[in-house]
Structure 1
Amino acid sequence: MGQDESRMVDEKTPPQTLKSRTLDAVAEYIRDGRARRIVVMTGAGISTSAGIPDFRSPDTGLYANLARLNLPYAEAVFDIGYFRGNPLPFYTLAQELYPGNYRPTITHSFINLLHQKGLLLKLFTQNIDCLEREAGVPDDKIVEAHGSFARQSCIECKAPYPEELMKKAIHEKSVPHCIREECDGLVKPEIVFFGEQLPADFFENRSLPGEADLCIVMGTSLSVQPFASLPMMCGDGTPRVLINGEQVGEMGSRADDVLLIQDCDTGVRKLAEACGWLDELEDLWEQTAPWARSGQPKPEQADEPKKSPDEQLQDEVDKLTKEIDQNLQLGQDQHTWLENHVDNKFARVQDNENGKGPTAPLTTGKTVASDTKAERREPSDGGLHHVFPWLSKKSSL
């Protein structure tokens, strides 16, 4: 794994395994049955569309929104030394991150679809949110490199802690202790904190990418070791697909690397469509909806087709256009009032000059109402928050 591999492959270099470095070539490779052992590697980027913030994004990331917990530094919330002395900030945060608060994304359902088709060798995830599990991926197919909320135990004696008691503690923002009276140590979910070792499961399965015939990397910066080294474990002729907002690590340095630089949900939809699986994927994702999980009938509005990003943007443009039209109409009303006001003023001046005294205003009730409306309608700060809601929306963290 030398430095040469970190350079992007020359466009003139032909692929070894795929027909071309394209999405269609990857889909053909899968359809032909040549991808039977797929390894998937994921990070926080596959969960952001579910509403869960990632950790490191400026302003919107988890670490950037922890000031309210009065921590000495943001990462302290996941520091085992700090947790021993003050576990309450973690349990305050855990109430918002705990499984059940968020719906899996269509990317999570895509991983489950690979499993249902018998193609998923293993999922390696950096995420602690358990959304892969909620999407239907079974426990034995998941390696949670940084642990998760799926299990909890005492940090002293390592005794397991009942899930129902953990749910109760997190709901109440209380700090649970070991159920063994002779121990009474602090309990936490088996999330890997700073100062703790990665799960043994990670190291036991770390060589599996070498057995894969396709690797899919999604929603990760590949900046945290040893997880970041996993894609390099794949064989030289193994196609690797990156679905991410940007190029990361040494992805793109091999002859059979395919880069889809876009958000994960869009990317998996395109890949599923190219494989002929899109309807299956949408149906599978629909099963993760709250109404479906609770056994309720499908709401009528759920029959409406999901709008594409372009359609959503058009809706926002239409909304903005309507508001501009309203503002223009308001301007016309104000202009009418101003004309009347000037006419009245001029008439009073003329009357005064002719010695007739003051003249009663000629404004009507309608124009007065428009004036009152104009006074009440003040521009909001920023002006475009209705188009870009995240400009004013504060993170839940």
Structure 2
Amino acid sequence: MTEKNATSIKRLAKLVKNPNAKVIFMVGAGISTSCGIPDFRSPGTGLYDNLAKLNLPFAEAVFDIDFFEKNPEPFYTLAKELYPGNYEPSNFHYLMRLFQDKGKLHRVYTQNIDTLERAAGILPDNLVEAHGSFAKNHCIKCHKVFVQEIFEQAINEDKEFLKCVHCNGLIKPQIVFFGENLPSLFFSSWDDDCAKLGEDHIVIVAGTSLAVYPFASLPTEVPKITNRSLINLQRVGDFKNNPRKSDVIYLGSSDHAAEQLAAELGWLDDLKILTNMTTIKLQEDENRETCFTHEDKDLKLDKVADVLEKLKLDEREPEEKAGSEKGEKEKELEVQKERD
């Protein structure tokens, strides 16, 4: 970590430690690239650069509502790749979950359609999906809303394009396409939140190029008395064109920043629990195993100390683990001899 980044993490942690501090996150595709999801605009690796195989008239056509109405197939191809369940949340997603669990989260505004905020456990009341998501579907003609499962079934079973039973219009996920309006919740939530921002609030912008409006304008509307922070590979938007002296800038990986900020706040063990809970299995009784997943809404960090202890044990050197296991077996044999 560079000296500047180290200083930024300490500054940001100091702001968060304020007992009255509340954080608003504004995030983009950069927090999901480590999950395997490409961002949109990076040359060579971005989503738009990799859509040539779909024979589109222009890359953005895959999200153009007029083009979708004429030819839904390219979007179906893309949706099958990006659909929820194909990817797991990143360290940064789980850091935002930690802010929620610690009572420090005010809201997450996301440009992402991958629903990984939901997968990490961010509650609906704390989440504004500015560009929509795969969580619901609607008819593009009559706007009737349909459950998520029907579109998921359609792309998984290669069925014909979904049509509305009421008007025969095409059904698609409630992702905002070019030519569609952003959800009214985006505007109403931001108007309300922006009016409440004060000196104890922190707005953290992460993993975004701040190139798409109106989302890109949000940091410019943050009051001067409110602290802003950018966690990104480079300066963007208002942080580049109109920086403030109080801005806290971290230039680097959002996942690395998540680990470093968690460590500075004393939350690193909690972060390890969250990032490992999709793979750790605990023996609940003789006949059944249970697995912690990101869907466990009632999971409380203070109740999983044994999980952390298991993590620490699993991190021991192989020789140490083998010796410990051998000792446990010898104890079992001694107990058995006494019984006999």
TM class by shorter chain equals: 0.7 to 0.9
Q: Report which of the two structures shows the higher radius of gyration computed on alpha carbons.
A: 1
C-alpha contact (below 8 Å) 1:159/1:178 kept by paired residues: no
Pairs within 5 Å for 1:77-92: 77-92=62-77
1:24 aligned partner, one-letter code = K
Task: Say which of 191, 199, 214 aligns to 2:175.
Answer: 191
1:155-194 CA-partner distances (Å, limit 9, x unpaired): 11111123222111121243443442x4121000000001
SS at match of 1:242: strand
Partner of 1:303: 314
SS at match of 1:255: coil
C-alpha contact (below 8 Å) 2:41/2:48 kept by paired residues: yes
Task: Say which of 187, 196, 218 aligns to 1:203.
Answer: 187
Shift of 1:269: 1.0
1:59-113 CA-partner distances (Å, limit 9, x unpaired): 1111111111111111111100000000011011100000000010010001111
Shift of 1:26: 2.0
Pairs within 5 Å for 1:9-28: 22-28=8-14
Shift of 1:296: 4.5
Partners of 2:161 and 2:208 in 1: CA distance: 32
Task: Say which of 56, 60, 81 aligns to 2:41.
Answer: 56
Confirm whether residue 247 of structure 1 aligns to residue 239 of structure 2. no
1:279 aligned partner, one-letter code = D
SS at match of 1:41: strand
Shift of 1:24: 1.2
Partner of 2:335: none
Shift of 1:29: 2.1
Confirm whether residue 109 of structure 1 aligns to residue 94 of structure 2. yes
Partner of 1:220: 208
Q: Which has the higher strand share?
A: 2
Confirm whether residue 166 of structure 1 aligns to residue 173 of structure 2. no
2:10 aligned partner, one-letter code = D
C-alpha contact (below 8 Å) 1:47/1:104 kept by paired residues: yes
C-alpha contact (below 8 Å) 2:278/2:291 kept by paired residues: no
TM-score by length of 1: 0.67
CA RMSD of aligned residues (A): 2.5
What residue ranges of structure 2 are gaps of 5+ in the alignment?
Answer: 1-6, 283-288, 293-306, 317-340
Partner of 2:138: 153
Confirm whether residue 30 of structure 1 aligns to residue 16 of structure 2. yes
1:55 aligned partner, one-letter code = F
Partners of 1:175 and 1:145 in 2: CA distance: 29
Partners of 2:290 and 2:46 in 1: CA distance: 34
Partner of 1:229: 217
Count of residues in correspondence between the two structures: 283
Confirm whether residue 119 of structure 1 aligns to residue 101 of structure 2. no
2:232 aligned partner, one-letter code = N
Shift of 1:251: 1.7
TM-score by length of 2: 0.78
Shift of 1:289: 4.3
What residue ranges of structure 1 are gaps of 5+ in the alignment?
Answer: 1-20, 306-397
